[in-house]
């Protein structure tokens, strides 16, 4: 898609470890249109975080390395960009929010200083003016007595407040894309809902696109427009959020949905997907989900299915849909 804001093609990220080569991300394709929210879901260890790190050029290297692919952002391949260009893009064109704000915030700098920093570093705004804007942003993310909070240190804030500070920092330069990796996982349900609502509000206001990473389908249901389901380093299904929840195609997506507390509750007991995600260093023949799949058959264990469009706007990589393949139109 040429009108995509972010277009990831054939991205592979491997970790070269004493235990062997870990195929953390394996030939992943994803694309995000301007203003769109793409939810990236899957169990822990499926390669979601590594995918997002590759987008912003922060794969820990060594042991990690991007071994193949393109990450086109506004038409330019970020994988080919020099470190200085990437630094300029991060925080300005691409904002980032991570699960644990305590590790992202500097414990010895005031909140005001940190929220103002991107404006000083990227836009050359004076520190005094940047602090004024920081106060407005703290207010905007609903931090009470924002002006006073400028002088607080991260440990003086609650977890929910710290996450709001992270949001203010990520959004203050009005980025085109927000990369949010499990932004609400550390929060309780009520705070989670409030923070997601706030992110939704701000991104609509600024027309920011978002790559929202979560292991929680409830978060996706509340936030995303489109969803990509990841398993063992690969994208196994993509669909709009409505159709995905109404009729998941991939047995893995079906399993994830059945294990969701809210949806599962009405249908009797909660079903877990039996077994575990294979280790990235495990050699995989055939479909990576075959070993846990209730519908697998012989072919699944020997031959890997490709992503195919099987309904309009829906792609899945699963041999069950071999006969539903459609001619792709682009």
Ligand X SMILES: Nc1ncnc2c1ncn2[C@@H]1O[C@H](COP(=O)(O)OP(=O)(O)O)[C@@H](O)[C@H]1O
Name, in order, each residue with C-beta under 8 angstroms of 282's C-beta and a sequence gap of 6 or more.
none
- When CB distances are held under 5 to 8 angstroms depending on the partner's kind, the choice from ligand X, Mg ion, none that residue 45 binds is ligand X
User: Rule CB under 6 A: is residue 44 a binding residue for ligand X?
Assistant: yes
Rounded alpha-carbon distances, angstroms, from residue 157 to 1, 110, 151, 154, 309: 43, 11, 11, 6, 47
User: Rule CB under 6 A: is residue 17 a binding residue for ligand X?
Assistant: yes
Tell me the DSSP string of 58-85. Answer: ---TTTEEEEEEEEEETTEEGGGS-HHH
Instruction: Reduce the secondary structure of 281-317 to three states and give it as a string.
Output: CCCCCCCCCHHHCCCCCHHHHHCCCCCEEEECCEEEC
Cβ-based nearer residue to ligand X, 50 or 293: 50
What three-state secondary structure class fits 42?
coil
Cβ-based nearer residue to ligand X, 46 or 209: 46
User: Rule CB under 5 A: is residue 317 a binding residue for Mg ion?
Assistant: no
Name, in order, each residue with C-beta under 8 angstroms of 144's C-beta and a sequence gap of 6 or more.
none
Cβ-based nearer residue to Mg ion, 31 or 49: 49
User: Rule CB under 6 A: is residue 42 a binding residue for ligand X?
Assistant: yes
User: Rule CB under 6 A: is residue 60 a binding residue for ligand X?
Assistant: yes
Binding segment (CB under 6 A) for ligand X, from list 59-67, 104-112, 160-168, 300-308: 59-67
User: Rule CB under 5 A: is residue 31 a binding residue for Mg ion?
Assistant: no
Cβ-based nearer residue to Mg ion, 53 or 273: 53
Among 8, 22, 219, 317, binds ligand X (CB under 6 A): 22
Among 30, 36, 38, 47, binds ligand X (CB under 6 A): 47
Minimal distance in Å, beta carbon 54 to Mg ion? 13
User: Rule CB under 6 A: is residue 4 a binding residue for ligand X?
Assistant: no
Say if CB 42 and CB 103 are below 8 A apart. Answer: no
d(CA 250, CA 200): 28
User: Rule CB under 5 A: is residue 49 a binding residue for Mg ion?
Assistant: yes
Say if CB 53 and CB 242 are below 8 A apart. Answer: no
User: Rule CB under 6 A: is residue 112 a binding residue for ligand X?
Assistant: no
User: Rule CB under 5 A: is residue 51 a binding residue for Mg ion?
Assistant: no
User: Rule CB under 6 A: is residue 98 a binding residue for ligand X?
Assistant: no
Cβ-based nearer residue to ligand X, 28 or 94: 28
User: Rule CB under 6 A: is residue 61 a binding residue for ligand X?
Assistant: no
The residue count for the chain:
330
User: Rule CB under 6 A: is residue 24 a binding residue for ligand X?
Assistant: yes
- When CB distances are held under 5 to 8 angstroms depending on the partner's kind, the choice from Mg ion, ligand X, none that residue 276 binds is none
User: Rule CB under 6 A: is residue 276 a binding residue for ligand X?
Assistant: no
Half-sphere exposure in the Cβ direction for 242 (13 Å, CA): 1
Cβ-based nearer residue to Mg ion, 73 or 98: 98
Cβ-based nearer residue to ligand X, 180 or 202: 180
Site of tokens 């979560």: 214
Beta strand residue intervals within 191-267, DSSP E: 209-214, 226-231, 234-240
Measured at the CA of 66, the angle between CA 62 and CA 71, to 5 degrees, comes to: 140
- Token output for 118: 């991107």
Cβ-based nearer residue to ligand X, 114 or 223: 223
Q: Which residues bind Mg ion (CB under 5 A)?
A: 49
Q: Which residues bind ligand X (CB under 6 A)?
A: 15, 17, 22, 24, 42, 44-50, 60, 63-64, 280
């Amino acid at each position: 898609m040429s009108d995509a804001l972010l277009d990831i093609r054939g991205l592979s990220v491997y970790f070269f470890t004493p235990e062997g080569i870990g195929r953390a991300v394996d030939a992943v394709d994803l694309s995000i249109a301007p203003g769109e929210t793409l939810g990236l879901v899957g169990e822990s260890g499926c390669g979601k975080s590594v995918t997002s790190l590759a987008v912003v050029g922060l794969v820990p290297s060594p042991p990690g390395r991007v071994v193949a692919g393109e990450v086109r952002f506004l038409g330019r391949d970020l994988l080919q960009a020099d470190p200085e260009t990437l630094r300029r893009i991060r925080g300005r064109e691409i904002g980032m929010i991570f699960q644990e704000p305590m590790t992202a915030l500097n414990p010895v700098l005031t909140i005001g200083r940190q929220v103002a920093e991107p404006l000083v570093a990227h836009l050359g705004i004076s520190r005094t003016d940047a602090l004024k804007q920081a106060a407005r942003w703290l207010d905007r993310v609903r931090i009470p007595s924002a002006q006073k909070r400028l002088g607080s240190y991260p440990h003086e804030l609650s977890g929910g407040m710290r996450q709001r500070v992270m949001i203010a920092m990520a959004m203050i330069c009005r980025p085109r894309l927000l990369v949010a990796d499990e932004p609400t996982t550390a929060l309780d349900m009520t705070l989670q809902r409030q923070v997601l609502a706030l992110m939704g509000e701000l991104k609509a206001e600024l027309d920011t696109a978002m790559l929202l990473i979560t292991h929680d389908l409830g978060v996706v249901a509340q936030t995303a427009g489109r969803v990509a389901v990841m398993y063992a380093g690969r994208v196994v299904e993509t669909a709009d959020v409505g159709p995905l929840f109404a009729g998941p195609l991939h047995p893995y997506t079906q399993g994830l949905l059945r294990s969701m507390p809210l949806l599962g509750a009405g249908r009797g007991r909660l079903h877990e997907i039996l077994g575990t995600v294979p280790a990235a260093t495990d050699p995989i023949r055939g479909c990576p989900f075959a070993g846990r799949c209730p519908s697998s058959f012989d072919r699944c264990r020997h031959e890997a299915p490709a992503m195919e469009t099987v309904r309009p706007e829906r792609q899945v990589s699963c041999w069950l849909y071999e006969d539903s393949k459609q001619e792709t139109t682009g």
